[in-house]
Amino acid sequence: MSNKTQQAFVPDESNTRLLRDAFGRFATGVTIVTAQTPEGVVAITASSFSSVSLTPPMVLWSPDRNSRRFPYFEAAEHYAIHVLAADQQDLCYSVAKDAAGLRDLDLALNAEGVPVLEGCLARFECSRHAVYDGGDHAIVLGVVNRAEMREEGEALAFFKGQMGRVTGH
Task: Locate the domains of the chain by residue range.
Answer: 29-104+119-160
- Whether residue 141 contacts residue 60, with contact meaning beta carbons closer than 8 Å, is answered with yes
HSE of 39 in the Cβ direction (CA atoms, 13 Å)?
9
Nearest residue to 77 (alpha-carbon basis) of 8, 168, 143, 134: 143
- What CATH number does the domain located at 29-104+119-160 have? 2.30.110.10
pTM of the model: 0.90
Render each residue's pLDDT in the chain as its tens digit; 169 residues. 555 688 888 988 888 889 888 888 878 899 999 999 998 999 999 999 999 999 999 999 999 999 999 999 999 999 999 999 999 999 999 999 988 889 888 999 999 999 999 999 999 999 999 999 999 999 999 999 999 999 999 999 988 888 888 887 6
Q: DSSP letter at 168?
A: -
